[in-house]
Amino acid sequence: MKKNFFKLTAILSVLALFVLAACGSGSNNGSGDKEVEFLSILTGGTTGTYYPLGGMFAQLIEDETGISTTPESSQASAANMTGLKDGKAEIAFVQTDIAYYAANGELMFEGDKIDMVSAIGALYPETVQLVTTAKSGIKTFEDLKGKKVSVGAPGSGTYANAEQLLEIHGLSIKDDIKAQNLDFGESQESLQSGQIDAAFITAGTPTAAVETLNATTEVVIVPVEDAKADELIKKYPYYAKEVVPKGTYGLEEDVPTVSVGAMLVVQNDLPKDVVYKITKAIYEGAGSLTHPKGKFIKTETGLNGIGIPVHPGAKKFFDENGVKAEQ
């Protein structure tokens, strides 16, 4: 009897170990069996590009997965990475440069490395726009000296872009301009009322806030000259040359500037099969999007410029389509 008791105890112990191993596996690599009943997408301000696209993505995801999905307005890139870390959402829009900083614990994430987030894929160029009005008289970066300039919230992607572009032009946020920490909507209203002279806005073009401004006043986008763009890219290689096309915001000619990339990121512990369906929904459904940026969202460029690990579910989708990361 005693012998049978010990035998039964041993069997139960082994079974318990198997159960524990199964429960513990995949919690950080998307291979677990976490049940998902609701998904939230962190976007940006309602007058930017992330928010309207987030609403369209939510519908694509819900149609593909059957999971209720909702876009949430936010303070955009840097705040979104922190939001995922804090469990406020499962998916988020983020600039490629900010995702890189977070994953490596650099700049605004120094001492606060975020390594529990991975990539779904690249979306479209995020144009760095230095927006002003014709009546301001500002035509170059040098004209910003002593002016009131919106640079976004401290720690935001826009703030980092503003700081780096000003640096390349020999200017400092702290010493050479009167920096204002406004979001896109506040920047638009303040430019319109004359309370500020210019604003940095990093977003896909056309940007709703700038289009709204153009409805009441003549918009000027300050150019980033070719030599300065080269200097910027040499020091910060995640930038690329970009153009705000003629006709955008009523512009009479193309305006050269620079861009970073927009991407989608996801919590690592979201199940592989769910992230696979999310990725499939977005890249196969992009052609149906009514937003102008939909034409840039393509499977074949989905891994371009990704500086952080790709979620296994997204990787499965790109592998099936023969898409590899840039070397």
What's the per-residue H, E or C state across 1-20? CHHHHHHHHHHHHHHHHHHH
* Domain presence at residue 171: yes
What residue numbers bound the domain in which 157 lies?
127-260
Supply the pTM of this predicted model: 0.78
Q: Are strands 117-133 and 91-95 parallel, antiparallel or unpaired?
A: unpaired
User: pLDDT of 238-287, one tens digit each?
Assistant: 888 999 999 999 999 999 999 999 999 999 999 999 999 999 999 999 99
* Domain presence at residue 269: yes
Is the pLDDT at 174 greater than 80? The verdict is yes
User: pLDDT of 32-53, one tens digit each?
Assistant: 556 899 999 999 988 888 999 9
* Domain presence at residue 138: yes
Share of the chain above pLDDT 90, in %: 79
User: For residue 325, what pLDDT band results from cuts at 50, 70 and 90?
Assistant: confident
User: pLDDT of 7-23, one tens digit each?
Assistant: 444 444 444 433 333 33
Return mean pLDDT, the chain.
89
Is the pLDDT at 3 greater than 60? The verdict is no
Of 233, 260, 287, the residue at which a domain comes to its end is 260
DSSP secondary structure code for residue 224 in this structure: -
User: For residue 115, what pLDDT band results from cuts at 50, 70 and 90?
Assistant: very high
CATH number of the domain that 291 lies in?
3.40.190.10
Distance CA 96, CA 232 (A): 16
280, 181: one domain: no
Of 210, 245, 260, the residue at which a domain comes to its end is 260
In the prediction, which pLDDT does 326 show?
A: 62
138, 153: one domain: yes
* Domain presence at residue 244: yes
In the prediction, which pLDDT does 31 show?
A: 52
113, 136: one domain: no
* Domain presence at residue 29: no
- Residues 160 and 291: beta-carbon distance below 8 Å: no
Of 228, 260, 292, the residue at which a domain comes to its end is 260
The domain total for the chain is 2
DSSP secondary structure code for residue 222 in this structure: -
